[in-house]
C-alpha cells in the first residue's frame, strides 16, 4: 500500500504585508519543512505577497498558491487577477470557491466551475473548497450539499486533469472565530463520499483535505483518518511556528516516522 503523504497548507486570507509574508517565508525556508519528503506543504499568501514568497521558497518543497483568480485570460475585469498573472508571480496552485468568497462575493457553483476550468487549462493545481452551511449540517443535508458542489467541479475536469484537483472539505460552521472543528469521523465520512463520487465518475479517487479550526491539538487525529488526505489551516498557522509545529506533529505521527 502506498505511504500516505498528506497535504498540509495554510491560506493567510487578507493578512500580512509583503514584509510580514516574506519574514514567514524566510523562516519556513530555514525550517525542516523546506526539505520534507513526508508531506506536501503549501502556503497561500495574498496576491501582493505571492511573488516575494515564491522567490524565497523556490527550490524548496513548499508550493505557493493564490487565493482566487478570474476565469478570463485578460480583459476589462477591473480588480480581478488572471491565471497567467498568478503564474507569472510564481504561484503553481490556486484556491477556489472558499465559502468566504461564496458568501461575501457571490461566487456560485457555476462561477467556481469556470475558474476551475481556467486554472486547469493553465496547468495550475486547483484547490477547490466545498462546504455545508450550519443549516445544511443541522438538516442532515451535508452530503447532498457537498455532492452538488463537487459535481460542478467534476463537470469541467477532464480525467487527465484529475490529479491536479484537490478538494478541501471546509464546513462553513467550522471556519474562523467561533467555528467548531468537525468531528474527525464525521469529516472522514464526507471525504469518503467525495472520493466515491470521483471513483464513480473517473474510476479513481481524488485527494480531499480538511479545513476548519485545525489546531495543534486536533491535527494528528484528523490527519490519521483514512479518507483525510491532508489539512488546510487558517488561524493556527498564521505564524510560522504554528505552521511548522503542525507539520512536524503530523510528520511524527505518520507510519514509519
Ligand X SMILES: O=C(CO)[C@H](O)COP(=O)(O)O
Q: Which of residues 138-177 bind ligand X (CB under 6 A)?
A: 170, 175-176
Q: Which is nearer to ligand X, 214 or 223 (CB)?
A: 214
User: Is 107 one of the catalytic residues?
Assistant: no
All three cell numbers of 13: 486570507
Q: Does 132 bind ligand X (CB under 6 A)?
A: no
Each as own residue / partner, the long-range contacts of residues 143-152 (CB below 8 Å, 24 or more positions apart, any chain) are: 143/190, 143/193, 146/190, 146/193, 146/194, 147/193, 147/194, 147/197, 148/109, 149/97, 149/109, 149/112, 150/194, 150/197, 150/198, 151/197, 152/109, 152/110, 152/112, 152/113
Catalytic residue selected from 98, 100, 107, 191: 98
Write the CB contacts of 154 (distance below 8 Å, at least 6 apart in sequence).
197, 198, 201, 202
Q: Which of residues 217-246 bind ligand X (CB under 6 A)?
A: 232-236
Q: Which is nearer to ligand X, 88 or 183 (CB)?
A: 183
Q: Which of 7, 8, 10, 39 binds ligand X (CB under 6 A)?
A: 10
Q: Does 184 bind ligand X (CB under 6 A)?
A: no
Q: Which of 28, 214, 244, 246 binds ligand X (CB under 6 A)?
A: 214
CA distance 47 to 114: 20
Q: Does 98 bind ligand X (CB under 6 A)?
A: yes
Answer whether 177's CB lies under 8 Å from 146's CB: no
Comparing every residue's Cβ against ligand X, the nearest one is: 234
Q: Which of 7, 11, 21, 46 binds ligand X (CB under 6 A)?
A: 11
Q: Does 179 bind ligand X (CB under 6 A)?
A: yes
User: Is 98 one of the catalytic residues?
Assistant: yes
Q: Where are the beta strands (DSSP E) in 73-229?
A: 93-96, 125-130, 165-169, 207-211
What residues act catalytically?
Answer: 98, 170
Residue numbers of the site for ligand X (CB under 6 A)? 10-11, 98, 170, 175-176, 179, 211-214, 232-236
Amino acid at each position: 500500500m502506498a505511504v500516505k503523504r498528506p497535504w498540509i497548507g495554510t491560506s493567510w486570507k487578507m493578512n500580512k504585508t509583503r514584509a510580514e509574508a516574506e519574514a514567514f517565508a524566510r523562516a519556513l525556508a530555514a525550517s525542516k519543512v523546506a526539505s520534507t519528503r513526508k508531506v506536501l506543504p503549501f502556503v497561500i499568501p495574498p496576491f501582493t505577497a505571492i511573488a516575494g514568497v515564491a522567490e524565497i521558497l523556490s527550490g524548496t518543497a513548499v508550493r505557493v498558491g493564490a487565493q482566487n483568480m478570474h476565469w478570463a485570460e485578460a480583459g476589462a475585469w477591473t480588480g480581478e487577477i488572471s491565471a497567467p498573472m498568478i503564474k507569472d508571480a510564481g504561484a503553481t496552485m490556486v484556491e477556489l470557491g472558499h465559502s468566504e468568497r461564496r458568501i461575501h462575493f457571490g461566487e456560485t457553483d457555476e462561477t467556481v466551475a469556470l475558474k476551475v476550468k481556467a486554472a486547469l487549462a493553465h496547468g495550475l493545481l486547483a484547490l477547490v473548497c466545498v462546504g455545508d452551511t450550519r443549516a445544511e449540517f443541522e438538516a442532515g443535508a451535508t452530503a447532498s450539499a457537498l455532492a452538488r458542489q463537487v459535481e460542478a467541479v467534476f463537470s469541467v475536469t477532464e480525467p487527465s486533469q484529475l490529479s491536479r484537483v484537490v478538494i478541501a472539505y471546509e464546513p462553513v460552521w467550522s471556519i474562523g472565530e467561533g467555528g467548531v472543528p468537525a468531528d474527525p469521523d464525521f469529516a472522514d465520512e464526507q471525504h469518503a463520499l467525495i472520493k466515491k463520487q470521483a471513483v464513480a465518475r473517473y474510476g479513481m479517487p481524488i485527494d480531499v483535505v480538511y479545513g476548519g479550526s485545525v489546531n495543534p491539538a486536533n491535527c494528528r487525529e484528523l490527519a490519521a483518518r483514512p479518507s483525510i488526505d491532508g489539512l488546510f489551516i487558517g488561524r493556527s498557522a498564521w505564524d510560522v511556528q504554528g505552521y511548522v509545529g503542525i507539520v512536524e506533529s503530523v510528520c511524527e505521527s505518520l507510519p514509519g516516522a
